[in-house]
């Protein structure tokens, strides 16, 4: 895939990253501007759950709070987010509501940093990484994450990009330290948002096996098997000894509506997913259109692009069999910020001989994406309530 060399806006990629971090912080604070939200009510459909869980933890001893986060709170599915929130609030510096309100302003910059690291590691190209970090701030991860209050899912995606960046580095030069980091990140994803963690591990397994078929390096498959075994054993042990089988029962209930019946109603489901679910935030022609363009031009022999192909394929296989809610979740977990950047590069490449036109096209798409994210954040105060 061609790079963004020759584009004036990408000559200082680290400056783009700094701007992405600043814009992410500001975007997360937009719904709490006094003129928009004078009562400072937490926005996000699921935000009140985090307030309730942390308040419950504060009424317990430290050991009890730890056990509650691992077990009772949301079926023990997100302790690695609840525990830092609990520690921040128990310090007395901020209240529970303030901690939850500041989450988007923390998760947004983390997403920009993680996507930058992922693309820089995968493409060895800081210019493209800088562009991706900008688009990550205006992606579904931020807009839907704030609207729905998908804070744990959002954090798990941040961890996923870091995990896959380390995985790409491990495939180039295997080392014990990288394997340890991969294992810790794998367990971390499962303890932050197990459903996202499971998808990322499935993507990683298929990707590593495809690389092994090319290189025939036994260490790749052995490392993968050991990584998956350790991660599954830790999570299953936590589930059995702390929360019982609650997560498995909850997951089974969530999938109960999926199947052939959803396939027969695929088109109405898709319309509902795009234009009704999340108040239609997913119906963004720029994000979806450029992502489709990128998928057409991705090349399987390139390892980074192969990883993106596998990621989208794994996420798309069950799409037609799922309910609207689960379809929306799968879209949320796809690497759309990277696909947007690749699709944009493909779209404006014919104008590369006219540098001014190409730079204006890049700037226009960035501004349109920023407008979409800002409009969404501004409307958040009224949307979920």
Return the structure tokens found at 22: 């600043």
Residue 241 belongs to a domain? yes
Residue 4 lies in a domain: no
Rg (CA), the chain: 21
Whose tokens are 């394997």? That residue is 179
Domain membership flag for residue 109: yes
Tell me the longest C-alpha to C-alpha distance in the chain: 66
For residue 331, the model assigns a pLDDT of 92
Whether residue 246 lies inside any domain: the answer is: yes
pLDDT (0 to 100) of residue 4? 63
State the Cα–Cα distance between residues 201 and 88, nearest whole angstrom: 30
- Is 374 among the domain residues? yes
- How many structural domains does the chain have? 1
The answer to whether residue 303 sits within a structural domain is yes
For the CA atoms of 25, 30, 34, 40, what is the dihedral angle to 10 degrees?
A: -80
Can you give the pLDDT of all 385 residues of the chain as single tens digits? 556 666 767 788 899 999 999 999 999 999 999 888 888 888 999 999 999 999 999 999 999 999 899 888 888 889 999 999 999 999 989 999 999 999 999 999 999 999 999 999 999 889 999 999 999 999 999 999 999 999 999 999 999 999 999 999 999 988 999 999 999 999 999 999 998 999 999 999 999 999 998 887 888 889 999 999 999 898 888 777 665 445 554 554 455 556 666 767 788 888 888 888 888 999 999 999 999 999 999 999 999 999 999 999 998 888 888 888 888 889 999 999 999 999 998 888 755 556 667 778 888 999 999 999 999 999 887 544 3
Structural domain including 303 reads 13-379
Q: Copy the structure tokens of residue 138.
A: 């205006």
Question: What pLDDT is stored for residue 216 in this prediction?
Answer: 77
Count other Cβ atoms within 10 Å, centred on residue 53.
Answer: 23
For residue 385, tell me if it sits in a domain: no
Residue 2 domain-assigned? no
Q: Give the CA-trace dihedral at 127, 129, 131, 133, to 10 degrees.
A: -150
State the Cα angle at 77 between 47 and 319, rounded to 5°: 85
Nearest partner of 333 among 129, 158, 134, judged by Cα:
158
Q: Which two tokens stand for residue 34?
A: 């006094």
């Amino acid at each position: 895939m061609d790079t963004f060399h020759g584009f004036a806006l990408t000559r200082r990629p680290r400056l783009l990253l700094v701007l992405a971090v600043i814009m992410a912080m500001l975007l997360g604070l937009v719904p709490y501007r006094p003129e928009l939200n004078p009562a400072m009510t937490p926005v996000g459909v699921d935000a009140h759950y985090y307030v309730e869980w942390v308040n419950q933890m504060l009424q317990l001893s430290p050991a009890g709070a730890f056990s509650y986060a691992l077990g009772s709170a949301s079926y023990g599915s997100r302790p690695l987010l609840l525990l830092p929130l609990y520690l921040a609030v128990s310090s007395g510096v901020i209240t529970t509501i303030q901690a939850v309100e500041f989450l988007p302003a923390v998760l947004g910059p983390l997403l920009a940093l993680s996507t930058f690291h992922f693309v820089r590691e995968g493409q060895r190209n800081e210019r493209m990484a800088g562009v991706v970090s900008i688009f990550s701030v205006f992606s579904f991860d931020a807009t839907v994450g704030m609207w729905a209050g998908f804070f744990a899912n959002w954090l798990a995606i941040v961890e996923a990009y870091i995990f896959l960046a380390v995985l790409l580095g491990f495939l180039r030069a295997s080392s014990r330290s990288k394997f340890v980091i991969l294992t810790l990140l794998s367990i971390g994803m499962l303890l932050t948002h197990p459903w996202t963690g499971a998808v990322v591990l499935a993507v990683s397994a298929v990707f590593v096996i495809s690389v092994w078929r090319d290189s025939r390096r036994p260490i790749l498959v052995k490392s993968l098997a050991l990584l998956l075994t350790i991660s599954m054993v830790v999570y299953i042990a936590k589930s059995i000894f702390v929360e019982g089988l609650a997560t498995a029962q909850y997951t089974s209930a969530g999938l109960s509506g999926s199947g052939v019946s959803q396939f027969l109603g695929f088109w109405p489901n898709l319309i509902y997913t795009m234009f009704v679910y999340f108040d239609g935030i997913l119906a963004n022609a720029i994000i979806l259109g450029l992502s489709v363009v990128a998928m057409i031009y991705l090349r399987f022999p390139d390892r980074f692009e192969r990883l993106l192909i596998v990621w989208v394929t794994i996420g798309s296989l069950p799409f037609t069999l799922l309910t609207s809610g689960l379809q929306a979740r799968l879209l949320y977990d796809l690497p759309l910020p990277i696909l947007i950047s690749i699709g944009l590069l493909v779209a404006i490449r014919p104008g590369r001989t006219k540098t001014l036109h190409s730079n204006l096209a890049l700037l226009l798409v960035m501004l349109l994406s920023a407008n979409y994210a800002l409009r969404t954040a501004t409307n958040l105060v009224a949307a979920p309530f």
